Structure 1
Amino acid sequence: MKQYRFWITGVMVLTLVFASSQVFSQVKYTLTPASEMKISGGSTLHDWDMTSNSAKGEGQFVMEGSQFKGIKSLRVQMEAETLKSGTRGLDNNAYKALDTKKHKDVVFTLKEITGSGSSYQAKGDFTVAGVTKPASFPVKMTQSGSNLTFEGSFDTKLTYFSIDPPTALMGTVKTRDEITISFKSIFQPSK
């Protein structure tokens, strides 16, 4: 009888361990080409946007069945010179200010995400022009099938990343220090 109870207890423990590993799983996700990163700012002449659809990223997402429950790790990287405004002069001034010859990438590494449903708070590190600084900002999440879309923005300053705001036309046009880094990141399970 004791052996029978020991055997039943062992089966129950194994069943619980197996069932709990099925409830929460970590799934590798990658950024889709439909994602968009944007830096917006202004100058004494006009406001401007620089957009890129060339970011790469991957993360380990915590899923319960097919439902999003959190993120264990996440890193998104974008070549700075893929940011385009539609004006070559503005782009060249931006690349010079970002020192893209030395610091090719803009990188975000997630440290923590909290919240539930569609509203989250992300904390992580942005690396811009070779300078890494902490960032915290709200994120909206939507799920469509197995794809997860994250949208958010981070208001900051060029000087936060030790970047001198660029000038043009012999200093008559001055870039404002304030910028917004915004994104619409669509992640899909890795194949």
Structure 2
Amino acid sequence: MMKQYSIWITRIVVFALVFVSSHVFAQVKYTLAPTSEMKISGGSTLHDWDMTSTSATGEGQFVMEGSQFKGIKSLRVQLEAETLKSGTRGLDNNAYKALDTKKHQNVVFTLKEITGSGSSYQAKGDFTISGVTKSASFPVKMTQSGGNLTFEGSYDTKLTNFSIDPPTALLGTVKTDDEITISFKTKFQPSK
């Protein structure tokens, strides 16, 4: 009787281990691919403008079930502010001065939480711009191609939220709007 009981316990334990191991979630380190694009867009009394960079770096711990994305445990993306370029040197220099890039060289986003499923998610985290950190929440679209994951989204905010005075030019006759949009298309790949 004791032997049969022992065999049943062994079978139950083996079954439980097989069942649990078939649904194992792994944390996989991912890094930002060099093709990723970050953009800050805004307007002024003269024209709309965009400043774009493909020089961001970043890494995160992604939760995967097999090859399927299930979530993000941690994520941090950093961008050297002076890699943002508009194509107009005067606009770039005014922006760097407003951002005080000599003192605050980087723009940083740190993810706190991501919720959703399929291709639609909501991200919550902190942006640090010009030395000021503010919480943000915005929708994100995710696509997966093989092991690579691409996240696209945008966040509307104001320069003054980060204690940045909107730049002016031509003796104050051209004024930058306070409202800006931070947008991104970031591709993450498994670390090698």
Using the alignment, how far apart are the partners of 1:145 and 1:6 within structure 2?
Answer: 40
Question: How do 1:39-188 residues align onto structure 2 when only pairs under 5 Å count?
Answer: 39-188=40-189
Q: Which residue of 1 aligns with 2:33?
A: 32
Identity of aligned residues (%): 81
CA distance in 1 between counterparts of 2:141 and 2:76 reads: 18
Describe the superposition over 1:86-115 as per-residue Cα deviations: whole angstroms up to 9, x where unpaired: 111110110010010111100000111111
**Hey, what's the Cα distance between the residues in 2 that align with 1:52 and 1:20?**
39
Secondary structure at the aligned position of 1:176 is classed as strand
Amino acid of the structure 1 residue aligned with 2:68: Q
Deviating 4+ runs (over 2 angstroms): 2-21
Q: Which amino acid in 2 is paired with 1:34?
A: T
The match for 2:10 among 7, 10, 26 is 7
Give 3-state SS (helix, strand or coil) of 2:172's partner.
coil
Task: Report the Cα distance in structure 2 between the residues aligned to 1:14 and 1:64, rounded to whole angstroms.
Answer: 16
Shift of 1:11: 2.9
Aligned with 1:175: secondary structure? Answer: strand
Return 5-14 or 28-37, whichever deviates more. Answer: 5-14
Aligned residues: 189
Q: Tell me how far apart the structure 2 counterparts of residues 69 and 3 of structure 1 sit (CA, whole Å).
A: 38
CA distance in 1, matches of 2:116, 2:122: 6
Letter in 2 for 1:27: V
Q: Per-residue displacement from partner, 1:148-181 (whole Å, max 9, x unpaired)?
A: 1100000000001110001111111110000000
TM-score (norm 2): 0.94
Measured after TM superposition, the shift of residue 17 of structure 1 is: 4.2
Residue 8 of structure 1: CA displacement? 3.0
Q: Which amino acid is the alignment partner of residue 172 of structure 2? A: G
Residue by residue over 1:23-65, the C-alpha shift from the partner in whole angstroms, topping out at 9 and shown as x without a partner, is x211111100000000001111111000000000111111121
Q: Which amino acid aligns with 1:14?
A: L
Point out where structure 2 has 5 or more consecutive residues left out of the alignment.
none
User: In the TM superposition, what is the alpha-carbon distance from 1:143 to its structure 2 partner?
Assistant: 0.9
Q: Give the aligned CA root-mean-square deviation in angstroms.
A: 1.2
TM-score, normalised to structure 1, is 0.94
Unaligned segments of structure 1, at least 5 residues:
none
Taking the aligned partners of 1:7 and 1:68, their CA distance within structure 2 comes to 33
Code of the aligned partner of 2:45: T
- Residue 148 of structure 1: SS of its match in structure 2? strand
CA shift, 1:145, in A, is 1.1
